[in-house]
């Protein structure tokens, strides 16, 4: 039987946030490859007869190559990501690795979409989005100036923002700089939510304002959600004016 590769978005958290298509791809796989915590996220689907490879941070390129190589060698492979694999996940790397295989040896590849962390964070808060933008604050792969340019341009719009990779052990000042850039155009009382481990047992969601949110409360896996100017507290929820950004 020929191999195949599924690039799977597992959704933000527990088993009930996965789609049936994502679960079926993992169940049907002979090999499951992914960053360790993401493999753990689908541990309930794994079987002893599957080859399971837990990778580490920073080895994404090698992991993509490995998943493709296993598929070329005839295995049915699930390469798993949290959230959606196309949103700062493994899909781009894995598709490039697959495209480098000569066409007559290239396995079929399918990208299985997932619920993103940003959309899940929004749902946990109520309905704070509307028109919105999703930006990674990581400068590991792009110059920081490019990230700043995106934030500055977006600050001047009325879009809500979901910010990924806001902080790491070594990137500690960037989020405060983003706050400064946003405050050039957005009101200090703009609602900002810090959503950490959304959909997991230890989910933590804190709502503050652009002026006073505590960047120290933010981890790498936090989504920082900046509401648009029309969002307001309604009951216990944060809700955008429908259609008004």
State the nearest-atom distance from the C-beta of 145 to a second copy, in Å: 12
Query: Applying CB under 8 A, which of residues 34, 107, 114, 166 lies at the interface with a second copy?
Result: 114
66, 97 contact by CB (below 8 A): no
Query: Applying CB under 8 A, which of residues 44, 59, 131, 180 lies at the interface with a second copy?
Result: 131
Q: Is 99 in the site for a second copy (CB under 8 A)?
A: yes
- Residue (of 10, 2, 238) closest to 130 by Cα position: 238
What residues numbered 27-86 form the site for a second copy, per CB under 8 A? 84-86
CA-to-CA distance for 205 and 144, rounded, in angstroms? 27
CA-to-CA distance for 186 and 17, rounded, in angstroms? 33
Comparison of 15 and 57: residue with beta carbon closer to a second copy = 15
CA-to-CA distance for 178 and 218, rounded, in angstroms? 13
State the nearest-atom distance from the C-beta of 216 to a second copy, in Å: 25
Which tokens go with 6? 């599924």
CA-to-CA distance for 175 and 185, rounded, in angstroms? 16
Number of residues counted as binding a second copy (CB under 8 A) = 72
Comparison of 100 and 211: residue with beta carbon closer to a second copy = 100
CA-to-CA distance for 28 and 5, rounded, in angstroms? 11
What residues numbered 149-208 form the site for a second copy, per CB under 8 A? 149-150, 153-154, 156-159
What residues numbered 214-243 form the site for a second copy, per CB under 8 A? 234-235, 237, 239-243
């Amino acid at each position: 039987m020929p191999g195949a590769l599924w690039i799977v978005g597992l959704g933000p958290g527990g088993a009930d946030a996965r789609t049936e298509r994502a679960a079926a791809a993992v169940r049907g796989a002979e090999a499951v490859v992914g960053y360790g915590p993401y493999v753990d996220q689908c541990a309930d689907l794994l079987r002893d007869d599957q080859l399971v490879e837990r990778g580490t941070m920073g080895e994404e390129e090698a992991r993509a190559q490995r998943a493709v190589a296993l598929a070329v060698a005839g295995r049915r492979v699930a390469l798993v990501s949290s959230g959606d694999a196309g949103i700062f996940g493994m899909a781009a790397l894995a598709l490039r690795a697959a495209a480098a295989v000569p066409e007559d040896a290239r396995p079929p590849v399918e990208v299985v979409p997932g619920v993103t962390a940003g959309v899940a964070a929004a749902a946990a808060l109520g309905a704070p989005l509307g028109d919105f933008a999703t930006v990674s604050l990581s400068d590991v792969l792009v110059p920081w100036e490019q990230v700043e340019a995106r934030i500055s341009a977006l600050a001047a719009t009325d879009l809500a923002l979901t910010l990924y990779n806001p902080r790491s052990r070594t990137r500690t000042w960037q989020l405060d700089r983003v706050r400064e850039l946003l405050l050039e155009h957005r009101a200090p009382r703009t609602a900002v939510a810090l959503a950490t481990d959304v959909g997991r047992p230890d989910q933590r969601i804190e709502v503050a304002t652009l002026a006073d949110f505590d960047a120290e409360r933010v981890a790498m896996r936090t989504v920082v959600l900046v509401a648009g100017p029309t969002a307001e507290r309604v009951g216990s929820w944060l809700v955008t004016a429908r259609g008004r950004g």
